[in-house]
């Protein structure tokens, strides 16, 4: 009878307490949540004074100060005494690097990014989806004087990014709508596609071609061409791109650049054990 009772009781996964799926307020630590909000805000808005952070986040300077000093003790933020402003600390990079080591994607992508940069003469990038943004996780820069630069950890909206559009083109409409949300799409330049029908048509074109294009949609004078990378489940898990000034990447060069980027994405897909689309 004891054996029967034991068998009928569902076992909890190790490391998961009762109520694992309960994300209500009783299972959260308010002070920690507030500290992480400050940390994330500072990562997106570096070089702010204490009073600026407090005002923008609607918190008292005393509360923000205690949080920053605590994070500083862990090396997650740093204080510039000369300018009296706060920045993300070196420890944040160390922790982020550990996240990247969780997968072989970044490591495996490096030789393909370098080869792509050498082939095209432009900066090669690797990015993944994070919410409604592309998170750039690796880059190989060109040595040209004028070049694109997306430091690892940089976020860029999906709808105005070459990699973002390459990944959106592989998603089902439901997931695409969920990530983009229902608010009006932000226009960064006169070329940003903010009309959803126009964006959808552009994504269909990208899927057919095998590569997507950012035509000065995030920054005037800059072009980006990107292609999706697939994993062993045939899911688009990342994107590879080349970015540079339109003066070196004119419209007539797009087909050749698109073939080069799509080729690099295909080779990385195969290296990850994925299946490259035709």
Residue count of the chain, please give it.
278
Q: What is the pLDDT of residue 7?
A: 43
| Range with the poorest average pLDDT among 42-51, 79-88, 145-154 | 145-154
Mean pLDDT of all residues in 190-200: 95
Q: What is the pLDDT of residue 2?
A: 44
Rounded to whole angstroms, how far apart are CA atoms 100 and 98? 5
Q: What is the largest CA-CA distance in the chain?
A: 79
CATH of residue 148's domain is 3.30.450.40
Residue 102 burial (10 A CB sphere; 0-12, 13-18, 19+): exposed
Quick one: DSSP state of residue 201? H
Same domain, 109 and 82: no
Contact 167, 239 (CB under 8 A): yes
Same domain, 202 and 86: no
CA distance readout (Å), 227 to 87, 159, 222, 243: 33, 14, 17, 12
Same domain, 37 and 59: yes
Q: What is the pLDDT of residue 1?
A: 43
Q: Is residue 199 part of a domain?
A: yes
Q: What is the pLDDT of residue 20?
A: 43
- Answer whether residue 115 shows pLDDT above 70: yes
Q: What is the pLDDT of residue 18?
A: 56
Residue 131: pLDDT band with limits 50, 70, 90: confident
- Answer whether residue 155 shows pLDDT above 70: yes
Entry pTM: 0.66
Q: Which residues on neighbouring strands pair with residue 134, listed in sequence order?
A: 129, 156
- Answer whether residue 189 shows pLDDT above 60: yes
- Kind plus residue range of the DSSP H or E element containing 264: helix 254-271
Q: What is the pLDDT of residue 106?
A: 86
Q: What is the pLDDT of residue 123?
A: 93
Q: In the numeric block, which tokens belong to residue 40?
A: 């994330």
Q: Is residue 112 part of a domain?
A: yes
- Answer whether residue 26 shows pLDDT above 90: no
Q: Is residue 277 part of a domain?
A: no
Q: Is residue 183 part of a domain?
A: yes
- Answer whether residue 16 shows pLDDT above 60: no
Tens of pLDDT, residues 239-250: 999 999 999 999
CA distance readout (Å), 229 to 126, 128, 129, 238: 10, 10, 12, 5
The separation between the first and the last C-alpha atoms of the chain, rounded to the nearest angstrom, is: 59
Angle at which helix 61-73 crosses helix 50-57, to 10 degrees, equals: 120
Same domain, 265 and 140: yes
- Kind plus residue range of the DSSP H or E element containing 110: helix 105-120
Rounded to whole angstroms, how far apart are CA atoms 219 and 190? 10
| Range with the poorest average pLDDT among 90-99, 123-132, 219-228 | 90-99
Mean pLDDT of all residues in 254-273: 94
Residue 233: pLDDT band with limits 50, 70, 90: confident
- Answer whether residue 101 shows pLDDT above 80: no
Mean pLDDT of all residues in 219-232: 94
* Of 203, 211, 208, 276, residue with least CA distance to 241: 211
Q: Is residue 265 part of a domain?
A: yes
Structural domain range at position 27 = 2-93
Of residues 138 and 93, more confidently modeled: 138
Quick one: what percent of the chain has pLDDT higher than 90? 66
Same domain, 111 and 241: yes
Mean pLDDT of all residues in 136-147: 82
Quick one: DSSP state of residue 239? E
CATH of residue 23's domain is 1.10.10.10
Same domain, 122 and 253: yes
Q: What is the mean pLDDT of the chain?
A: 86
Mean pLDDT of all residues in 111-131: 94
Query: What three-state secondary structure class fits 150?
Result: coil
Same domain, 121 and 191: yes
């Amino acid at each position: 009878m004891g054996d029967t009772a034991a068998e009928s009781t569902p076992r909890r996964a190790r490391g998961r307490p009762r109520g694992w799926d309960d994300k209500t307020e009783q299972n959260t630590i308010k002070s920690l949540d507030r500290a992480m909000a400050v940390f994330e805000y500072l990562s997106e808005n570096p070089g702010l004074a204490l009073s600026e952070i407090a005002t923008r986040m609607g918190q008292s300077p005393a509360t923000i100060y205690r949080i920053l000093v605590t994070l500083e003790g862990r090396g997650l933020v740093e204080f510039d005494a000369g300018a009296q402003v706060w920045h993300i600390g070196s420890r944040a990079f160390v922790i982020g690097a550990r996240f990247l080591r969780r997968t072989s994607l970044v490591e495996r992508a490096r030789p393909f990014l370098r080869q792509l940069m050498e082939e095209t003469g432009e900066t090669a990038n690797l990015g993944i989806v994070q919410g409604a943004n592309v998170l750039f996780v690796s880059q190989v820069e060109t040595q040209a004087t004028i070049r694109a630069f997306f430091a690892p950890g940089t976020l860029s909206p999906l709808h105005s990014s070459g990699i973002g559009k390459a990944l959106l083109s592989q998603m089902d409409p439901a997931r695409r709508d969920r990530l983009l949300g229902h608010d009006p799409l932000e226009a960064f330049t006169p070329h940003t596609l903010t009309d959803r029908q126009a964006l959808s048509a552009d994504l269909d074109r990208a899927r057919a071609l095998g590569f997507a294009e950012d035509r000065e949609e995030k920054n005037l004078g800059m072009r980006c061409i990107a292609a999706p990378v697939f994993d062993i489940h045939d899911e688009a898990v990342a994107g590879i791109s080349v970015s540079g000034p339109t003066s070196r990447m004119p419209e007539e060069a797009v087909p050749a650049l698109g073939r080069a980027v799509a080729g690099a994405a295909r080779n990385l897909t195969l290296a990850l054990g994925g299946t490259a689309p035709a």
